[in-house]
Amino acid sequence: MNIRAVIFDWAGTMVDFGCMAPVEALVTAFADEGITLGEADARRDMGRSKRDHVDAILHYASVSAAWTDAKGAPPRPADGERIYRALEPLMEAAATKCATLIPGAADLASRLAGLRVRIGSGTGYTRQMMSGILPRAAAQGYAPQVVVCSGETPSGRPAPLMTWKALIELDAWPAWTCVKVDDAAVGIEEGRSAGCWTIGVAASGNGVGLSLEDYLALPEPDRVRRVAGAAKQLKAAGADYVVDTIADLEPVLADISARVGRGERPTRG
């Protein structure tokens, strides 16, 4: 194995099939302000730090208009800060509740560890939001060597800093021997900027946005259509590869390992 490290995202990639927790928490936080936030708007900037995510939502034309109608004035920076403070405990509770590993995650991590591939992770969650996820994931067999959380680098995604921080702590270099795996376009952009190979995860992530049960209940044509749409977004963000779920990752990692062994580097247009 010529891959030195793999940096995994959390929600929608390794835990929380469908990336459901952030949507639940965001919808609740905005409802508490008297604003109805649609799921599509809650998912639109998924993957960013939650503070940046709140600000992005407040700038959507439909949300800004609804806010102005309800409050008598457009949203201000102080409003974003207040929503974020209320969001943090909501996000912690929802993320803990949804911290079930995506099928195949624990087996993959175990096999990578057996191959001496270092395992790191990055997330748009703060350390507080991760406080319930980490022990639950560990109890299910997944405990990455490094966890980098939102707010622990000067800039969040799509900046490469969280991935670079993880690589530094893992002593894994050069970046072109490492892989970033994420279900959100902004996470793919992060990995590309860091100089890593990037793998998008389509079916279990934010792009499809369904729980495992609802995803499996879809008629096959609908399932294929929705996964294809999510994959298209990840490819447009520059993903070197796209898979359905983490359970499909090993053949792709083997291919990347072979390419690294030949001296190839990820293509950057």
Which string of DSSP letters, residue by residue, matches 165-232? HHHHHHT---GGGEEEEESSHHHHHHHHHHT-EEEEE-TTSTTT---HHHHHHS-HHHHHHHHHHHHH
Mean pLDDT (whole number) for 154-176: 97
Is 232 annotated as catalytic? no
Q: With 60 as the cut, is the pLDDT of residue 219 above it?
A: yes
Helices and strands (H and E) in the chain: how many: 12, 6
Is 50 annotated as catalytic? yes
Say which of 16, 50, 55, 182 is annotated catalytic: 50
Contact 171, 146 (CB under 8 A): no
Indicate the pTM of the whole model. Answer: 0.93
Rounded percentage of the chain residues whose pLDDT exceeds 90: 96
Confidence category of residue 269, pLDDT binned at 50, 70, 90: low
Q: What is the pLDDT of residues 99-133, one digit of tens each?
A: 999 999 999 999 999 999 999 999 999 999 999 99
Confidence category of residue 48, pLDDT binned at 50, 70, 90: confident
Domains of the chain (ranges plus CATH)?
Answer: 5-19+99-261 (3.40.50.1000), 21-97 (1.10.150.240)
Q: With 70 as the cut, is the pLDDT of residue 232 above it?
A: yes
Contact 245, 227 (CB under 8 A): no
Say which of 9, 45, 55, 248 is annotated catalytic: 9
For residue 254, the model assigns a pLDDT of 97
